[in-house]
Amino acid sequence: MIWRHLKTILWLRWRMSKNQWRRAGALNAILMAGFVVVALISSVFAFFLGIAGGVFGLAEAEPDLLMFVWDVIILAFLVAWAFGLITELQRSELLSLDKLLHYPLSLSGAFTLNYLTSLFSLTVAVALPGMLGLSIGMVWNHGAPMLLLFPLVLSFFLMVTGVTYQFRGWLATLMENKRRRRAIMMSFTLGVILLTQIPNVVNMGFMGSRNRHRREETQRSNERLIEQTAELNRRLASGDVDVADNARLMKELQEEAEKERQEKRSAARAQVYNGFIHYVVLANQILPMTWLAYGTRQAALGSLWPGLLGLVGMTLIGTASLWRAHRTTMCFYTGHYSKRGRKKKVKRTEAAKPAWLLEQHLPIVNEHVSGVALVAFRSLLRAPESKMALIMPLVMLLIYIPMIAFGDIPKLPSIAAPFIALGVLMLTIFGATQLVVNVFALDRSGFRAYVLMPVPRKDILLGKNLAVVPFVGSITALILLATHIMVPLTFTHAVATILQCLPAYLLLCMMGNLSSILMPMAMSMGTMKAAQPKLVVALVQGFVMMLSPLSLAPAFAAVLAEVWLAESFRIREVPIYLVVTLVELVVVAWVYRRVIAAQAHMLQKREPRILEIVTANVE
């Protein structure tokens, strides 16, 4: 009965997905068909690729190499699984458990069907056949002990899917609050990105330490060789040895030094390899998701007990997670969900606090611009998607600072400092483009208020542009400060780089305003994902984002001119970078003032169409 229900539910999910893609247009329907074909081909290809890799690629592999191969496969699967989970959490399920309860199914049956249907994903469809194929190849080469891989692979998938299903159920209860849901999504996405970068940071630190040690050894060896060569030359000058003996001794000395250097490198390489294997084996023994890899290593060594213990452990973890998820589901839908021991909270009536931020007035600008800027700033401050877009430069900074601090980065010339500063500034500009290129989409239904406001549209555009300044300015200041600490800038270069933020941002705002007016796109609630993606609009906005780094082109040209004059004509006293930046600031400010007036007229004409797009009812 469960099998018949499962086939029906899978068919229904397929039909609903097909109809959803068909409603989005003929191109999306074609892309969906191509996606299904590619998924099927990938599944079959992964199976046979796993067999070929196990039979031919790992025919004479050592147990440590087999373990490392499984570690890489498991890591790749977990990363793909995590990103797939993020994607699923960002959209509503076609057939959630609530909808399944409308069918003639028991609660336990609906739970089982919902879990089984969650297994049908592209990640599982590619990873499971590939792992089974690799297991077949290892059995072919390494004999009967590798038969343990088949239950190990299945128990691994049971553990991962069981824990994930419990995690999704727990998140479902937390995400009933929409604001909390968006915050959870942002934190989860950020956590996955940081976790995926940990191996890279560790590797850079490890490689840097090894290279520094190797360089120090080479320097000491060269110093000894220089001393011994000087001693031979002294003996030659004093007449203790003739020219032929000196040449022979010099050659022997060089050969001995080279032999000693090679022996030390081999010993250091063996020591590093043994230490690496030790820590990898230790991690495989501790982490449940790597028990599959450790069981493979021990089975290749002839010991089955570690693999059997890992099989039992992963099965127990997966089963316990499913049991806990089932119990939580039963309690939730029968009305007995965590009500014991709760104390009723006494509601306190408090006077409403005034909106302090919205009552302020920005200097220089008029009241209309100030009001729009503060409201938009408050909206961005509360929106997790805007924080996610702007926090990515800081994430990249957190990733690259340890790499530079612990890595083997040679000392850069001072002339490279302004180029590096402009490079990190370009990273910040690119992150801010996501908010500027589709500026009205984040307002969603709130855009009606702007349409009804009896204020000049120029003030609305100026206020929207000013709202992003605190975010971009604070992040840029932190990144430039960190860059200056690692790669010090001269006084004129530091001042010019700080001032360069202003014309670059004004150029970005002019491009973003034009894109927001002519090519608006509705955004899903709580994400930066397009709600109803259209190919032309997506291409135009993507093109504007690609053009955003060009806002720093005059700065790069000024630095290049300064370097050229300094190297070719020895003219180092003229701060060309600073002068060009000041001139650019004046020119861009004058152009921005004229362009935003023209864009205001364009906005007034396009308001009905923009309102229709950004306030569309989307899932």
Lowest pLDDT segment from 55-64, 270-279, 348-357 = 348-357
Residue 396: which of 359, 423, 377 has the closest Cα?
Answer: 423
> For the purposes of burial, counting CB atoms within 10 Å of the CB of 570, is it exposed (0-12), middle (13-18) or buried (19 or more)?
exposed
Spatial contact of 161 and 118, defined as CB atoms under 8 Å apart = yes
Roughly what angle, to the nearest 10 degrees, separates helices 491-518 and 417-436?
Answer: 20
- Give me the pLDDT at residue 16, please: 66
Model confidence at 222, in pLDDT bands (50, 70, 90)?
confident
Between residues 408 and 538, which one has the greater pLDDT?
538
CA atoms within 13 A on the CB side of 113: 28
- Give me the pLDDT at residue 490, please: 87
Check pLDDT > 70 for residue 354: no
Spatial contact of 530 and 442, defined as CB atoms under 8 Å apart = no
Percent of the chain as helix, strand, coil, to the nearest 5: 80, 0, 20
**What mean pLDDT do residues 333-359 have?**
55
**What mean pLDDT do residues 368-393 have?**
77
Average pLDDT taken over every residue of the chain: 78
Model confidence at 522, in pLDDT bands (50, 70, 90)?
confident
- DSSP secondary structure string for all residues of 100-123: HTTSS--HHHHHHHHHHHHT-SHH
Between residues 108 and 126, which one has the greater pLDDT?
126
Percent pLDDT > 70 in the chain is 72
Quote the CA–CA distance of 306 and 344 in Å, as a whole number.
Answer: 50
- Give me the pLDDT at residue 292, please: 92
**What mean pLDDT do residues 1-11 have?**
64
Model confidence at 376, in pLDDT bands (50, 70, 90)?
confident
Which residues sit opposite 530 in a β-bridge?
523
Residues whose CB falls within 8 Å of the CB of residue 448, separated by 6 or more in sequence, listed in order: 611, 615
Model confidence at 378, in pLDDT bands (50, 70, 90)?
confident
Spatial contact of 580 and 554, defined as CB atoms under 8 Å apart = yes
**What mean pLDDT do residues 120-133 have?**
87
Query: Which tens digits make up the pLDDT trace of 17-29?
Result: 666 666 655 666 6
By three-state DSSP, how is residue 458 classified?
helix
What is the number of residues in the chain? 619
Q: Which of 40-49, 208-217, 404-413 has the highest mean pLDDT?
A: 40-49
- DSSP secondary structure string for all residues of 119-142: T-SHHHHHHHHHHHHHHHHHHHHH
By three-state DSSP, how is residue 523 classified?
strand
- Give me the pLDDT at residue 94, please: 43
Quote the CA–CA distance of 235 and 246 in Å, as a whole number.
Answer: 9
Lowest pLDDT segment from 106-120, 190-204, 252-266, 595-609 = 190-204
Structure tokens at 288: 């449940």
Spatial contact of 528 and 388, defined as CB atoms under 8 Å apart = yes
Structure tokens at 455: 């204020």
Model confidence at 312, in pLDDT bands (50, 70, 90)?
very high
Check pLDDT > 70 for residue 103: no
Query: Which tens digits make up the pLDDT trace of 379-391?
Result: 887 776 666 666 6
Spatial contact of 479 and 394, defined as CB atoms under 8 Å apart = yes
**Domain map of the chain by residue range?**
46-203+288-334, 210-286, 364-614
Quote the CA–CA distance of 120 and 560 in Å, as a whole number.
Answer: 55
Check pLDDT > 70 for residue 228: yes
Query: Which tens digits make up the pLDDT trace of 133-191?
Result: 999 999 988 888 899 999 999 999 999 988 888 887 676 666 556 666 666 666 766 67
- Give me the pLDDT at residue 98, please: 61
Spatial contact of 88 and 123, defined as CB atoms under 8 Å apart = no
Quote the CA–CA distance of 225 and 45 in Å, as a whole number.
Answer: 56
Query: Which tens digits make up the pLDDT trace of 576-619?
Result: 888 889 999 999 999 999 999 999 999 999 988 888 888 875 44
Residue with tokens 């076609």: 94
- Give me the pLDDT at residue 319, please: 92
Residue 563: which of 580, 549, 547, 583 has the closest Cα?
Answer: 580
Spatial contact of 494 and 390, defined as CB atoms under 8 Å apart = no
- Give me the pLDDT at residue 24, please: 56
Check pLDDT > 70 for residue 9: no
Quote the CA–CA distance of 427 and 483 in Å, as a whole number.
Answer: 13
Q: Which of 82-91, 180-189, 422-431 has the highest mean pLDDT?
A: 422-431
Q: DSSP character for 527?
A: S
Quote the CA–CA distance of 487 and 503 in Å, as a whole number.
Answer: 24
- Give me the pLDDT at residue 90, please: 55
- Give me the pLDDT at residue 619, please: 43
Residues whose CB falls within 8 Å of the CB of residue 416, separated by 6 or more in sequence, listed in order: 487
Check pLDDT > 50 for residue 471: yes
